[in-house]
Amino acid sequence: MNGYHFLQLDNAHRRIYNTLYEGVQQYKTTFDFGTETFADINLAYAALVKDNPQFFWLSGDSQCTVTKTNGRQTSLEYRATLYPGIHPGDIREMQTRLERMVRVLELMAGKLSDDFLKALFIHNAIVKETEYVSTAPNRYNAFGCLVEGKAVCAGYAAAYQLVLNRLGIVCMVVDGYDRAKGPSGAHSWNLVQLGSDYYYIDVTWDDPTVRGSKEGTLTHHYFGLTEEELLCTHVIDGGQNLPKARGTRYNYYQYYGMYLPRYSFEAVSEIAARQLQKKDAFSVKFATPQETRRAEHDLLDNNRVFRIPGMSGSCSYGVSKSGLVLTVTKK
C-alpha cells in the first residue's frame, strides 16, 4: 500500500518519490536529476524515509551538487546519507536478517482475527524482545529494535510501523517530545488506524526497561490514545500534517472493559475482581486525573481496596504518567 506521506504529495513530488524509491530498492544512494530543485527532492525524500522504515540504512540527511550552464541548472546529483556506522557492503545481509524477523512476526500476528489484536500482539512482542539502550549502534532504526533487540524510541516506533504496515495496517511515526522534559526530551511514537479511526500508541513508554526494571511487567497505558489523552504527557512537533486521533473503541482499557468515566467503588470492585482471578494486580483507567485521584483516595487512603474480592494482606499502587490509569498490586 502507498505510504501516508506519499499520499500527501502532489503528482510532481510523487514522481520524484517513485524515482528515489526505485533507486533505494536497488541500494542506490546517488541519484541524477535534471532541473528539479534540491528543496523539491528533499520534500519527496523526507516522505520516502518516513513511509519506509525498511530502508533502515538511510539517515534522512542528504547533499547535492548542482551543475549550471549559462546560469541555469542543467543537472543535480542528489546523495542520500547512510545511517552512521552502517557500511554499504553490509546492507543486503542486514536487510535479509530484518526481513526474516518481520516475516516471522507477520505470520504470527496474521493468525489473529482483527487489526486491534494484531497491533496489540506486535506491541507486546516488541516490548518483550527489546531493551531500551541509548548507546546501541542501531538504536534509531528498525534493525536495531527487531534484530539486535536494542533501541531507543525512534527504533521502537520504526519497527512498529514496519510490521504493522506489512500487516496492512496504516501506521506512521510521530515526532515530538516528553511534556515533562520539554524540547530537550525528544521522543517518537506512532499513530495507527484501527477501523475507521486513528489512535496514538507509544510502544516505548509501555516497556518496563524504559522505567528502569528489566523484570517489570509491560503496560498498556499508551495503547490506543486519543489526541487529548496523548497531550497530557506528549507534545507533537508542528508541521507533520497528521489526521486527528479521536477513536476510543480500540483503547486497550476500553476494549477490555477496564475503563470508567467516573469513579465508583462498586464498578471498580467488579473490574478488579475479574482481573484478580488471573493475576495479582488490577488496573482501571478513568476519564480524567481528577477521577483517578478520587479512586486513589477512596480505595487506598480509606483502605476500601481490601473489600474487593481477591484483595488481602498488603498492596502497592501506582498511577500512570498521564494520571488516568490506577494500578494496584498485591504483595
**What is the tens place of the pLDDT at every residue in 23-50?**
999 999 999 999 999 999 999 999 999 9
**pLDDT greater than 70 at residue 83:** yes
**3-class secondary structure, 248:** coil
Q: Are 40 and 78 in contact (CB under 8 A)?
A: no
Kindly report the pTM of this predicted structure. 0.95
- Cell numbers of 229, please? 489523552
Q: Is the pLDDT confidence value at 213 over 50?
A: no
Identify the burial level of 192 via C-beta atoms within 10 angstroms of its C-beta, where 0-12 means exposed, 13-18 middle and 19 or more buried. Answer: buried
Across all residues in the chain, what is the average pLDDT? Answer: 95
Residue 212: the pLDDT is: 53
Sign of CA dihedral 275, 281, 285, 286: positive
**In contact, 319 and 296? CB cutoff 8 Å:** yes
Are the C-beta atoms of residues 14 and 79 closer than 8 Å to each other? no
Element (H, E) at 59: strand 58-69
